[in-house]
Amino acid sequence: MKKRLVLTSILAGALQFSCSNFDQLNQDPTRATGESFDANLLLPSIQYKYVNANAGYNGPILFQSMWTQILASTSSGAANYYTNGDKYVISSNTNAYRERTWIEAYSSASFAYEMEQLTKDRPAAANLTNIATIMQVLALSSITDVYGDIPYTEALKAKQGITLPAYDTQESIYTSMLTRLETATAALNPSLAGPTNDAFTYKGNVASWKRFGYSLMLKLAMRLTKVAPATAKTYAEKAAAGGVFTSVSDDAYVLADDANGYTNGNGAALATAADVYQVRWSKTLIDYLQATNDPRLTRIAEVPAAGFAANNSVTAGNSTASAQIGLPNGYDLNGGATDISRSPGYPGSTGTGADVTPIGRYSRPTAAFRNRSAPQFILTYAETELLLAEAATRGFTVTGSAATHYKNAVSAGIQSLGKFGSALVIDAATADAYAAANPLTTANPLKQINEQYWATTGILQNFNEAWHNWRRSGFPVLTPVNYTGSFSNGTIPRRQPYPTGEATLNTASYSAALGRLSGGDTWTSRVWWDKQ
């Protein structure tokens, strides 16, 4: 992604003068305006900051990837950062990790707000204005879904003197986001100029952006099925009628460009030496894929060659389906009761002598997931089709049957994997055949749909989305880890606590939000839409 990040200093506010008779003195020549500054230059910063907020050590791979049992790790001890996710145990940097999604996503939203302000009075730039609104909704939805009530109405307005913004309720935030998203998406006009600096693979295609807007509306609408079913139905039907994704070519993702400073955070994390050795696919995921001979298994997983040295090497391992074994969450290498060697069905170590490793038989991600320039997925056709399948199952008015949408989704999720590189490509015929052989059944369709959603988003490294939908749907049914020192009392975390600075820097607003949060500012409190 060869784009330049834009210095915010060029957007500084103008000096104010009171010379009413000399208009030229009221124009600060150093201030950027919609006419003097190309707002297109802000878009790649908005997009990259958003994906960065939802990847790597900014939180998701350390928390949600393992809370949802997509990945697992034998990490233990206060200094080992994967204890946050695998065992719900504090590491030395947990407080820093937990606030990074907040910081990066608000940064994305602030750039989007600036883009909106620069274009809102220019009819010819209407598409940029509406895309800026869509991106604000995308960024702010990611923050509220992780934390709950957040600054929203008064957020992003430091230039207007609002530096201690009030926290809005998540219910009011969702009402506003859906309304704004509906208006902005409907107003996108293919006859007007699209963005010229688009880091999405849409490359400025306005019709693609319109489908993205409606697909995002569908996702946010379905978030509300437990807490506001009528609203969920209304906006899901509006999104479906407006026109959502129709093929894998609609997938929204940013192709990272590590050579130019735009690194895929997940790829960078998994390429770290300690991660190469200790991060494995979870037993929950591997068992799920093996149960139906899912073709993704042989592309995403490998068992390293025998021995400690080979397990620390990135040399390709054995990807045969039958060889794959997922690592159970919640175990360590400490020799005690929770040592991996004491886990049920332990397959044994590999290597001999000083070169032995207890975790040598467990499956790890293949090389494509260590690529620092890999795609970072935001929303896919597969997710959209699964949400439509659920909407149809719930009796919402959408075109097509639940079975058809599910079949499309399964095939699409398999095909989208190929965007990580040629080694992960699975042709359409194979994907279609697998989808046909594993249709949606009537026994428990919501379970089946949402388990597929979990697997698809997790495999595509969209860990936050896998977690959000697990909290909303309750599927798959996961067995929590109950490790000594757990910060969630042996339950899978339901939210992230607010950044530590909020209590001291924005005390009144933080305290008001805290008063509305049942259970307090903890890992186990639930956001509004996560209704029991």
DSSP track, 34-91: TTTS-GGGGHHHHHHHHHHHTSGGGTTTTTHHHHTTSEEE---STT-TTHHHHT-B--
pLDDT for 76: 86
pLDDT at 10 over 80: no
Per-residue model confidence as pLDDT tens digits over 339-358: 999 999 999 999 999 999 99
Q: Which residues, in sequence order, are CB contacts of 212 under 8 Å at separation 6+?
A: 134, 200, 202, 245, 250, 252, 379
Buried b (16+ CB within 10 A) or exposed e, 478-498: bebbebeebbbeeebbbbbbb
Radius of gyration of the chain (CA): 24
Q: Cα–Cα distance between 53 and 104 in angstroms, integer?
A: 5
Domain assignment present for 46: no
Structure tokens of 528? 């509004």
Average pLDDT, the chain: 93
Domain assignment present for 286: yes
Tally of CB atoms within 10 A around 126: 17
Per-residue model confidence as pLDDT tens digits over 293-305: 999 999 999 999 9
User: Token pair 């790890």 is at which residue?
Assistant: 364
Distances (CA, A) of 443 to 393, 448, 449: 12, 9, 12
Q: What is the average per-residue pLDDT within 503-513?
A: 97
Report how many domains make up the chain.
2
The answer, yes or no, to whether the previous bond of 476 is cis (omega within 30 of 0) is: yes
Domain assignment present for 362: yes
Cα-based torsion angle of the residue sequence 519, 524, 527, 531 in order, rounded to the nearest 10 degrees: -90
Domain assignment present for 281: yes
Predicted TM-score of the model (pTM): 0.93
- On whether the CB atoms of residues 255 and 201 are closer than 8 A, the answer is yes
Domain assignment present for 343: yes
Domain assignment present for 216: no
Helix (H) or strand (E) holding 151, with range, is strand 150-151
- Of residues 284 and 13, more confidence is placed in 284
Q: What is the average per-residue pLDDT within 298-321?
A: 98
pLDDT at 170 over 80: yes
Domain that holds residue 21: 6-31
Structure tokens of 186? 């409907």
pLDDT at 28 over 90: no
Q: Cα–Cα distance between 374 and 392 in angstroms, integer?
A: 34
Domain assignment present for 13: yes
Domain assignment present for 361: yes
pLDDT for 92: 85
